[in-house]
Amino acid sequence: MTTIKGPAIFLAQFIGDTAPFNSLESICKWAAGLGYKGVQLPTNDVRFIDLQKAAESKTYADEIKGIVNAAGLEITELSTHLQGQLVAVNPVYDSLFDAFAPEAYRNNPAARQRWAVQQLKYAAEASKNLGLNASVTFSGALLWPMVYPWPQRPAGIVDTGFDELAKRWTPILDVYEDNGIDLCYEIHPGEDLHDGITYEMFLEKVNNHKRANLLYDPSHFVLQCLDYLEYIDIYHERIKMFHVKDAEFNPTGRQGVYGGYQNWVDRAGRFRSLGDGQVDFKGIFSKLTQYDYKGWAVLEWECALKHPEDGAREGATFIKDHIIRVTERAFDDFAASGSDEAFNRKTLGI
């Protein structure tokens, strides 16, 4: 077994225009001061990393890594959530998702999609240059408007959608294979890969691609009323990344899973800072440790109530206290009688 690495923090929700959140050097010093050991880097802000440059220049990648290391931290993984979303977009969402791409690619879905694909490929090469072994993304969604359909879905449309999704992602996954990087899909509402069944459907379409792996985030499963502990039992061999994020689901006589178009504060299901929700993290850390998860435990802060800086400060301690330092011996070794084949045979009467 392996002791889970951490605590680490995903920087996406903390980046801003004021110090210490406006440069890689200063945000890393801030994170280290809270007790974090690693940072997960978003790749859509060149103030923190120029993705293309990191892919094409080992020297530049070493400079980025050096800034992080100088603060006493490691880079855990790169994130391409926003770019991954743009690999597959149903036309109904085109204008909403345009903001995820540079202005030059807006109002041009085909060009935007090509840009996103190239970004994903850059992330594989940049990850290799940085000495990483995994990266996280979203799958995008062609079928999400069909998730609870009325009128009925046209016959065969789900199969067609997953065929297209696999067609778009397989060449990307091949680049990750070439660079020795696991591409981990965050299973997330709004994506075509939003639960175990949809992940399995995709995996079949990409011929069980070695690099089509998972980021585990229990908060999304709480909001779906999915058994997030059994999920680990089923998919632990594919879980290569872990977002530590809390959530709660409190249905009423007025609303349930769909939330009634309410804002986050007023939804039955909402994300919370670590320890303020309903997620059984003791169970999660125990199962991941049992299955020899070798990656990082990374805080993703999203809370409708608590200030992010308080969530970050509390989160470092929360994760540290949940990481299980694995034992090197069995608890009953003191009573061991040694190994003797003749004695064993005599004891069994054979």
Share of the chain above pLDDT 70, in %: 100
pTM: 0.96
Looking at every residue in the chain, the average pLDDT score rounds to 97
Cross-strand partners of 326: none
332 falls in which pLDDT band (50, 70, 90)?
Answer: confident
CB 165 within 8 A of CB 139: yes
Concatenated DSSP letters for 237-276? TTEEEEEE-EEEE---SS--TTGGG--GGGSSEEEE-TTS
Q: pLDDT tens-digit profile of 215-259?
A: 999 999 999 999 999 999 999 999 999 999 999 999 999 999 999
For the domain that residue 146 is a member of, what is the CATH number?
Answer: 3.20.20.150
Q: Number of structural domains, the chain?
A: 1
Q: What average pLDDT score do residues 274-280 get?
A: 98
Q: What tokens appear for 29 in the block?
A: 């010093």
The CA distance from 117 to 201, in Å, is 21
What b/e sequence results for 212-230 when a residue is b if at least 16 CB atoms lie within 10 Å of its CB, and e otherwise?
bbbbbbbbbbbbbeeebee
pLDDT in tens, 36-75: 999 999 999 999 999 999 999 999 999 999 999 999 999 9
Q: What confidence tens digit (pLDDT) does each residue in 284-328 have? A: 999 999 999 999 999 999 999 999 999 999 999 999 999 999 998
Q: What is the pLDDT of residue 315?
A: 98
pLDDT value at 334 more than 90: no
Give residue 82's domain range: 5-348
What is the per-residue pLDDT across 113-146, written as a single tens digit (0 to 9) for each?
999 999 999 999 999 999 999 999 999 999 999 9
